[in-house]
Amino acid sequence: MTSFFYRMIRFRISSFFLLLSFFCSFFISENLLGQETYLFKSPLKLGKYEGLANYTFKIVENDTVLHGTFEIEQSNLNALLNKEDSSFLFRGGFENGQATGPWVFQFGEYQSGSQSNVVDYEYRVLISGVQEEGKGAMENGMPEGPWDYQVSQIKNSEIEKVLFKSSFLFNEGVPQQNFHIENDSYTLVGRFLRDGLAHDEWSAYSTDDINTNESWFFEEGLLRKIISVEDGTPTVIPIFKDKYDETKTIPLNDAYIQVLKATISTEGTLDFKKGIFGLLSQNIDYYQKIDTLLTQLGSSNFEPEFKVKVPYFPLDSEQISVLEKIDSDLKSAKEIRNTHLRNGHLNIVKRTNEDVLFHYNTIQVFSEEFIIPIEKLIALKEAGIIEYINLVHFLDQLWPNGIPNTHIKVPVDGNTRTFELPNATDFDFKGNNLNALYQITNYATLSMKAISEKLSSHLTDHEQLQMLNGVEQGLIEQNESLVAQIDSVSSTFSAPYQHTLLNIKSLADSHLNEYASIENPEEKLTYGNKIQKCLSQYAMLTNTLLSLPDKTEEINTAYQDAVWNPFMANVMEEEVKKRIGAAYSKILIPHFLEEAKTQLTCENVGDLDSAIKFINERMLELREEDTKKLERKLRKEKDPNEIIKLFHQPSVAKEGKNEH
């Protein structure tokens, strides 16, 4: 009995070791099963850089995935000796296609000196030029730890002068703690919060002039004020000085500077090309250079996240549509202005005909007093930053000489004549809002159209024919490119998309037929101009539709959340906010396709296009917002138009709250 017992203990101990070895064998076999890596050594082209590459990779599902060390370099002795050589060297490593480990990027522009000497068994030639070097470590394609970028002026193979130098500390691509940037005229120091938001005072000192410096004061990403000291005289420029209901976090880039420019009340108080922004944009350019290279190698997270906050003033759907109307009106007004002011014939006629001169000058007045100021607002819209601008404040400053009048005073040969539309009383320019601005824009556009009609009789038949010719050529080109665009890809799309695209094609065709059947040249010109705009909008809608499957895919992916499944011990994708996703893909997308297939006209094509774009953008925003209320409302709602209305309503939760 006892021996049996001991046998069992022995058995237990040995089984323990058996188990242990079983275990180990699994860990080892897992490594052994990793894919084989291959070595590549041959010339390679990376954008504009072409050189000898040396790297290892593996094959995953028929794709080449960089894995292991990577090096590419190029230097040409002949070029160096003859004139100048552009050399480069990029060295680092990848793990599963993502840049990882220490990296160095060098770019050089060198000329050789005329002298050479022989040292040991080598010929030595001294070089001069400029060398750029960025180095630091990466993890999963993102910069990690300290990164330095230095641009040095080299003379006779020695650093003569440091032209630019920046040092950052990153954590998963997010800049951390203090940083330092200098070029030959300024030195900037500043710091970031852990989440990459600019914080505290960022100061730049001029290296040449002790009395010149510039400081930006951030509060958790929000730039409160700028103090610029020029020759010892400080100027305080308040920026986002108020308390804001909502803020958004955006990258510190050119768009941000545009927001600042539009926010600063007095123009021209700060030169954004110099000082802090000059240094930052220089640095961003260098980092982008590296990012472009790594993106071409398939590792795309390098661009660092320098982040700032801006106040957020969301526009409601009505404001957005008014803005669209202002934009489209402004475009027509500009078109009329450009064709007339540049028309050689009119320029001659106006010298002898006072009426023509009057109208010609009126166009100029409209351009200066109406079009140019309104363009400033549209520029914000086009840069996608309009919602970061306090519109009340901005519109207030749009008219330094006061809001314009319907009664336009036009200088004509030393006298002043006035221009006014007969229905001028219908327009109300009062109020500091978009509706008033639309009235102003609309007034300008209608006036320009009226003037254009008046002037058309002064254009000779020959001029008219020429204009018609121009329009016709444009129409044919537009139609051809639309047809080509649709034909080249439509077969790869699903049936609902194909039907919709075919409808757009036949609509465009029918407009052209109608145009051809008009005989009166003036009518023909008017109609031609109208469908020119229409065709370009069809093309825009076609583009939107062609990119819609990719966009919906992107949106669906965004609505997936990674969930760790404890029972499988792996990470699974789970769809979140299912009701919103269903409303989008089961109701809205089919609705849009149906609309474009059956209801499309010249008048509504623009609206449909912007509705699709809006919904796509809104879907991405809603992913981040608190949408409980919306989801509840969507439960019963099946009517696409009602759903679009619901999507236009802002979510209850403030974005600013979600950021913390």
Partner 1 sequence: MSTKYTIFIWLVVFLVGLPNTVTGQDEQVVLPEYSKYKDPKTKVWLNTYGNIRIGKRFFWDAQTHFRFQETEDTPFVGQIGQIYNRHAIGYIYSKKTNFSLGGVVRINFNTDEDSEDRNVVPEWRIWHQYQFAMPFYSAMIYHRIRIEHRWTQGFEENSEYIFRNRWRYMFRAKIPLNDHKLKPKTFYVSPEAELIMQSGKKVVASPMEDLRLTTTFGYIATPRLTFAAGLMYSQGQDLYNGGYYKQAWTLRFHMYYSPDFRKVKNKLPEIHLND
* Token pair listed for 536: 């370009």
Task: Return the biggest CA–CA distance within the chain.
Answer: 131
Nearer to partner 1, 487 or 574 (CB): 574
Instruction: Give yes or no for residue 570 binding partner 1 (CB under 8 A).
Output: yes
Question: What whole-number distance in Å separates Cα of residue 590 and Cα of residue 221?
Answer: 41
The partner residues of 229 in beta bridges, in order of sequence, read 213, 234
- Specify the residue for token string 């039907």: 499
Beta carbon of residue 100, minimum distance to partner 1 (angstroms, whole number):
16
- Specify the residue for token string 């028309």: 343
Nearer to partner 1, 31 or 415 (CB): 31
Q: Which stretch binds partner 1 (CB under 8 A): 75-83, 110-118, 185-193, 569-577?
A: 569-577
Q: Which stretch binds partner 1 (CB under 8 A): 48-56, 68-76, 383-391, 568-576?
A: 568-576
Neighbours of 328 (CB within 10 A): 15
Instruction: Give yes or no for residue 571 binding partner 1 (CB under 8 A).
Output: yes
Nearer to partner 1, 557 or 570 (CB): 570
Q: Which stretch binds partner 1 (CB under 8 A): 12-20, 88-96, 184-192, 492-500?
A: 12-20
Find the helix or strand (DSSP H, E) in which 45 lies: strand 37-46
3-state secondary structure of 208: coil
Instruction: Give yes or no for residue 3 binding partner 1 (CB under 8 A).
Output: no
Beta carbon of residue 5, minimum distance to partner 1 (angstroms, whole number):
7
Beta carbon of residue 309, minimum distance to partner 1 (angstroms, whole number):
19
Question: What whole-number distance in Å separates Cα of residue 141 and Cα of residue 5?
Answer: 59
Q: Which stretch binds partner 1 (CB under 8 A): 9-17, 270-278, 340-348, 441-449?
A: 9-17
Residue type, 412: V
DSSP class of residue 35 equals P
Instruction: Give yes or no for residue 11 binding partner 1 (CB under 8 A).
Output: yes
Nearer to partner 1, 210 or 562 (CB): 562
CB 370 within 8 A of CB 441: yes
Cα angle for residues 424, 430, 433 (degrees, 5° grid): 120
Beta carbon of residue 627, minimum distance to partner 1 (angstroms, whole number):
11
Question: What whole-number distance in Å separates Cα of residue 528 and Cα of residue 46?
Answer: 46
Question: Residues in contact with partner 1, total (CB under 8 A)?
Answer: 27
CA-closest candidate to residue 659, choices 240, 251, 248, 170: 248
Half-sphere exposure of 141 (CA within 13 A, CB side): 18
Half-sphere exposure of 497 (CA within 13 A, CB side): 19
Beta carbon of residue 13, minimum distance to partner 1 (angstroms, whole number):
11
Beta carbon of residue 560, minimum distance to partner 1 (angstroms, whole number):
10
Quick one: which of 118, 119, 495, 568 contacts partner 1 (CB under 8 A)? 568
Residue type, 303: E
Quick one: which of 19, 28, 77, 379 contacts partner 1 (CB under 8 A)? 19
Instruction: Give yes or no for residue 23 binding partner 1 (CB under 8 A).
Output: yes
Question: What whole-number distance in Å separates Cα of residue 613 and Cα of residue 10?
Answer: 73
Beta carbon of residue 9, minimum distance to partner 1 (angstroms, whole number):
8
Question: What whole-number distance in Å separates Cα of residue 521 and Cα of residue 511?
Answer: 16
Quick one: which of 32, 118, 495, 562 contacts partner 1 (CB under 8 A)? 562
Instruction: Give yes or no for residue 40 binding partner 1 (CB under 8 A).
Output: no
Instruction: Give yes or no for residue 567 binding partner 1 (CB under 8 A).
Output: yes
Neighbours of 508 (CB within 10 A): 22
Q: Which stretch binds partner 1 (CB under 8 A): 15-23, 368-376, 422-430, 451-459?
A: 15-23
Q: Which stretch binds partner 1 (CB under 8 A): 23-31, 150-158, 214-222, 608-616?
A: 23-31
**DSSP state string for 584-600:** IIIIIHHHHHHHHHHT-
Helix axes 461-489, 495-517, angle to 10 degrees: 160
Residue type, 488: S
Kindly write out the interface string for residues 516-555 of this chain, putting x where it contacts partner 1 by CB under 8 A and - elsewhere: ----------------------------------------
Question: What whole-number distance in Å separates Cα of residue 152 and Cα of residue 132?
Answer: 6
How far, in whole angstroms, is CA 71 from its chain's centroid? 31
Question: What whole-number distance in Å separates Cα of residue 612 and Cα of residue 59?
Answer: 39
Beta carbon of residue 177, minimum distance to partner 1 (angstroms, whole number):
18
Nearer to partner 1, 175 or 640 (CB): 175
Instruction: Give yes or no for residue 624 binding partner 1 (CB under 8 A).
Output: no
Kindly write out the interface string for residues 421-460 of this chain, putting x where it contacts partner 1 by CB under 8 A and - elsewhere: ----------------------------------------
Nearer to partner 1, 126 or 193 (CB): 193
Instruction: Give yes or no for residue 465 binding partner 1 (CB under 8 A).
Output: no
Which residues are at the interface with partner 1 (CB under 8 A)?
1, 4-5, 8, 11-12, 15, 19, 23, 26-27, 30, 33, 561-574
